[in-house]
């Protein structure tokens, strides 16, 4: 049986993962409307992953005899100053999520909640991947910024996500 403290913290994290999905979906709409379908497809795939992240926590709570309490999801922003600003916002957001996962892990250590510690190790690795992906896209954009053709080429590459 999971502790009430851990249960509350995981419910809060489910909300953050669902907010992440919302944020990426909002960006998908933004990229589509600004003529970058590749970037839109990349963030759409990311939105689907965020829902999976939420559902892993959802399943964990239920498997441990805990209670899932879904809270309202905050509205994400709807536009950004450009693709670079959007990917910078993604990077900053993922850094916040990493902090949040780290705090959850610290709580699981304090509570001696070994199953949650094991579950969180997956998220810790996932956050390394998510920060790395965003940082790599930003680095590519920094190299090609102001070259419209190159931005479109990068957009074409981003479209390949999940199709290989």
26 binds ligand OFO per the rule CB under 6 A:
no
Q: How far is the CB of 149 from ligand OFO (least distance, A)?
A: 30
20 binds ligand OFO per the rule CB under 6 A:
yes
CA distance 40 to 30: 8
Give, as ranges, the residues between 120 and 149 that touch ligand OFO (CB under 6 A). Answer: 126, 130
61 binds ligand OFO per the rule CB under 6 A:
no
60 binds ligand OFO per the rule CB under 6 A:
no
DSSP string, 68-109: ----PPPPPP---SSHHHHHHHHHHHHHHHHHHHHHHHHHHH
53 binds ligand OFO per the rule CB under 6 A:
yes
**CA dist 3 to 52, 114, 118, Å?**
23, 12, 16
**Residue with smaller CB distance to ligand OFO, 94 or 155:** 94
Q: Which residues contact 73 (CB under 8 A, 6 or more apart)?
A: 15, 18, 19, 22
97 binds ligand OFO per the rule CB under 6 A:
yes
**CA dist 52 to 5, 11, 15, 45, 139, Å?**
23, 14, 12, 11, 27
Q: How far is the CB of 146 from ligand OFO (least distance, A)?
A: 29
Q: How far is the CB of 73 from ligand OFO (least distance, A)?
A: 13
Which chain residues interact with ligand OFO by CB under 6 A?
17, 20, 50, 53, 94, 97, 126, 130
């Amino acid at each position: 049986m999971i502790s009430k403290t851990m249960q509350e913290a995981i419910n809060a994290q489910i909300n953050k993962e669902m907010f992440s999905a919302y944020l990426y979906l909002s960006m998908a709409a933004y990229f589509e409307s600004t003529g970058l379908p590749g970037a839109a497809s990349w963030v759409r795939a990311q939105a689907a992953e965020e829902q999976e992240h939420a559902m892993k926590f959802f399943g964990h709570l239920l498997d441990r005899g805990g209670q899932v309490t879904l809270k309202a999801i905050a509205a994400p922003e709807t536009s950004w100053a450009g693709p670079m600003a959007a990917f910078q916002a993604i990077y900053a957001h993922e850094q916040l999520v990493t902090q949040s996962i780290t705090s959850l892990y610290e709580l699981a250590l304090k509570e001696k909640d070994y199953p949650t510690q094991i579950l969180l190790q997956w998220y810790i690795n996932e956050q390394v991947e998510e920060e790395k992906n965003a940082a790599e896209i930003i680095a590519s954009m920094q190299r090609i910024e102001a070259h419209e053709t190159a931005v479109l080429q990068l957009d074409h590459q981003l479209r390949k996500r999940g199709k290989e």
